[in-house]
Structure 1
C-alpha cells in the first residue's frame, strides 16, 4: 500500500487530495498544527480515514518526526499562509511559513532519505501569484517570475528551493504552478467564496449587499478537485519537473458576479454590489492566464469543470449551507 504525507491537509486542496489518494488505496497521513486546531473536526468528518499527525512547517524536528511516523512514498507540501491580502499585514510570518517552510520540508525529506535509504517523491504547491507583474501572456513554465505580494515572493523562494534540491541532491521534487482554483470548500475570505456566499445570502434575504475591491482584475479560475489530480500525476512521472496547471481561460470579477448572480436568476447585480478602496491591493495583479500545454502533453491532464459549472456549484452549495444555518426549509 502506497503511503502519502500531506501538509495543509485541512485546506480545500488537502481535503480533495486526501479523498483522491484514499480512493486509489493510499494510506494517507495529514500534518496539522496544534492539538486544538479548529479544523480538526472538519477533517475527521470529511476524510475520516486520514491519520492525523501534529507538526509545523516552521519546526524541522516535527517534520522529521512526521516522516518517521508515516514513512511516506509521497510528500505533498500544501501548507502555507495562502490568503494574499493577509501577506501585506504580516509579511514576516508569511515568509516563515510559505517560504522557509518549504526549505524545512525539503531538508526533512533529504535527511529522512539519507538515514532510511528510501526515496520520497516531493510535491511543492507553487502559485500563479509568482508571475505577478506578468511578463508574457499566457504564462508558462519559462515565464519570468515577478511577484507583487509578500505571498508571491515567499512562493518564489519555495519554488526555486524545490528546483535547487532537485538539482543539488537528485531528489524527486516537483512543483505545480497552480493558477486560481476554487471549490465549495474554499475559505470565505477568498473572493470567489465571498461572492458565492454573499449571493446565496442576498437571494435568501439574509444580506443586503456585497462589498468588493477591483472588479476588473482577471483570473484563470479552475476547480480544485481537478487540480489535485494534476499533483498526483506529477509524482507518478519517472522524472521530477515543474508544471503550470490552469484552464487557459481568464475571467474578470464582473464575469464572476455575472455567473454567481445568474445562478439565482439575477441578471443585473449592480444594485447589490458596492466597491470599497479598502479592498484594493497595494500592488494589483491584473491579468493571470496559464498555458498548461506541458501538463496536457506530459501528464495527460486537462481540466474537466468549466468556469460557469464551478461558480454554480459554489453558489448552490452556499445556498444549502445558508438555508441550514438560518433554519430555512
Structure 2
C-alpha cells in the first residue's frame, strides 16, 4: 500500500485529493495545524481513515516528525495562506507560510530521503497568480512570471525553490501551476463561493443584494475535483516536471454572475449587485487563461466539468445548505 502525506488537508484541494488517494488504496496521512483547528471535525467526518499529524509549515521540526511518522512515498504540499486579498493585509504571514513554508517542506523531504533523493515524490501547489501582469496569452509553463500580490510573489518563491531542489538534489519534485479551481467546498471568502452563496440566499429571500469589486476581471475556472487528479498523475511520471493545469477557457465575473443567477431563474441581476471600491485589488490581475497542452499530452489529463456545470453545482449546494440553516 503506497503512503501519501498531504499538507493543507482542510482546504478544498486537500479534501478532494485525500478522497482520491483513499479510493486508490493509499495509506493517507495529513498535517493539520493547531490542536483546536476549526476544520478538524470536518476532516474527521469526511475522511475517517486519514491519519492526522499536528504540524505547521513554519516549523521545520514538526514537518520532520510528520515525515518520520507517516513514512510517505508521496508528499503533496497544498498548505498556504491562499486568499489573495488577505495577502496585502498580512504580507509577512503570507510570505512565511506560502513561501518559506515550501522551503521547510522541501528540506524535510530531503532530510528524510537521505542518500536516495528520489525516494519521496513531491508535489508543489503553484498558482496562476504567479503570472499576474500576464506577458503572454494564454499562459504556459514558459511564460514569464510577473506576480501582482504578496500571495503571488510567495508562490513564485516556492515554485522556483521546488525547481532548485529538483535540479540541486535530484529530487522527484513537480509543480502544478493550477489556474482557478472551485467547488462547493470553496471558502466563502472566495469570489465564486461568495457569488453562489449570495445567489442562493437572494433566491430564498434571505438577503437582498451582493456587493462586489471588479466585475470585468477574467479567470480560467475549473473544478477542484478534476484538478487533484492532475496532481496525482504528475507524481506517477518517471521524470519530475512542471505543468499548467487549466480549462483553457476564460470567463469574467459578470459571466459568473450571469450563470449563477440564471440557474435560479433570474435573468436581470443589475439591481441585485452593488460595487464597492473596498473590494478592488490594489494591483489587479485582469486576464488569466491557461494552456494545458503539456498536461494533455504527457499526463493524459483533461478537465471533465464545464464552467456552467461548476457554477450550477455550487449554487445547488448553497441552496440546500441555506435552506437547512434557515429552517426552510
Equivalences for 1:227-238 in 2 at 5 Å? 227-238=227-238
Matches within 5 A, 1:310-329: 310-328=310-328
SS at match of 2:144: coil
In 2, Cα distance between equivalents of 1:132 and 1:114: 37
Q: Unpaired runs of 5+ in structure 2?
A: none
How far is 1:172 from its partner?
0.1
How far does residue 116 in structure 1 lie from its aligned partner after superposition?
7.7
Q: Which residue of 1 aligns with 2:269?
A: 269
Q: How many residues align?
A: 328
Shift of 1:72: 0.2
> Which residue of structure 2 aligns with residue 35 of structure 1?
35
SS at match of 1:247: coil
- 2:10 counterpart of 1:10: yes
Q: TM-score, normalised by structure 1?
A: 0.99
1:153 is matched with which residue? Answer: 153
Structure-to-structure mapping, 1:176-215, within 5 angstroms: 176-215=176-215
Deviation of residue 47 (structure 1)? 1.2
Match of 1:108 in 2: 108
Change (3 A) 1:118 1:290: closer
> For the residues of structure 1 that align with 2:320 and 2:168, how far apart are their CA atoms?
50
The CA deviation at 1:97 is: 0.1
Q: Deviations over 1:283-326 (max 9, x none)?
A: 00000000000000000000000000000000000000000000
1:78-131 deviations in Å (ceiling 9; x for gaps): 000000000000000000000000000000000001178770000000000000
Residue in 1 that maps onto 2:293: 293
Query: Is 1:73 matched up with 2:73?
Result: yes
Secondary structure of the structure 2 residue equivalent to 1:38: coil
Given the alignment of the two structures, is residue 54 of structure 1 paired with residue 36 of structure 2, yes or no? Answer: no
Structure 1 partner of 2:173 = 173
Give the distance between the partners of 1:188 and 1:181, measured in 2 at CA: 14
Q: Secondary structure at the match of 1:134?
A: coil
TM-score using structure 2 length: 0.99
Cα separation, 1, equivalents of 2:59 and 2:99? 13
2:129 equivalent to 1:144: no
RMSD, aligned CA: 0.8
Question: In 2, Cα distance between the equivalents of 1:201 and 1:46?
Answer: 26
**8 Å CA contact 2:94, 2:150 repeated in 1:** yes
Q: Distance in 2 between matches of 1:125 and 1:274?
A: 34
Secondary structure at 2:75 match in 1: strand
Where 2:114 maps in the other structure, the secondary structure is helix
Deviation at 1:251, TM superposition (A): 0.2
Name the CA distance, whole Å, in 2 between partners of 1:115 and 1:185.
Answer: 40
Secondary structure (helix, strand or coil) at the match of 1:6 reads strand
